[in-house]
């Protein structure tokens, strides 16, 4: 099975600041990588699919890049409503697996 790791596990940034999260797969997954936002009590939300494609309706302050085993997720200008935990997930084969998550809050 493919294992996913993320770093950091948590971070704090200022409003308007830049946030970068990295995700690594244990083997080559091409671009089969998604990013989700999870807030307590809310339905998880797909933000980025195929490593770099912005889901419809998601603000362009969110972006993703990478391929193979190394991926990056960026929030270019952090807003209070972006406080959440972010997960990467590979979807190329069974079983699909999520990273351990990165908790983002405001400094």
Judged by CB under 8 A, the chain residues 36 through 95 that form the site for other proteins are: 36, 38, 41-46, 49, 55, 87, 89, 91, 94-95
Structure tokens at 107: 């400094």
What is the C-alpha to C-alpha distance for residues 33 and 25, in angstroms, rounded to an integer? 9
Residue 19 or 49 having the CB closest to other proteins: 49
Q: How many residues bind other proteins (CB under 8 A)?
A: 22
- Work out how close the CB of 65 gets to other proteins at its nearest, in angstroms, rounded to a whole number: 18
What are residue 68's phi and psi, to 5 degrees? 80, -105
Least separation in angstroms between residue 15's CB and other proteins is: 26
Provide the mask over 10-29, with x wherever binding to other proteins is found by CB under 8 A and - wherever it is not. Answer: --------------------
User: Is 79 within 8 Å of 105 (Cβ atoms)?
Assistant: no
Containing 35, the helix (H) or strand (E) segment is strand 33-38
d(CA 44, CA 10): 18
Contact positions toward other proteins, by CB under 8 A? 34, 36, 38, 41-46, 49, 55, 87, 89, 91, 94-101
């Amino acid at each position: 099975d493919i294992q996913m790791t993320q770093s950091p596990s948590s971070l704090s940034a200022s409003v308007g600041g830049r946030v970068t999260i990295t995700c690594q797969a244990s083997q080559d997954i091409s671009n089969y990588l998604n990013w989700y936002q999870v807030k307590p009590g809310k339905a998880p939300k797909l933000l980025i699919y195929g490593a770099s494609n912005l889901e419809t309706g998601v603000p362009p302050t969110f972006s993703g890049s990478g391929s193979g085993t190394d991926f990056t997720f960026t929030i270019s200008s952090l807003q209070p409503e972006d406080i959440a935990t972010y997960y990467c997930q590979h979807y190329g084969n069974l079983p699909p697996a999520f990273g351990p998550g990165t908790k983002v809050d405001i400094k």
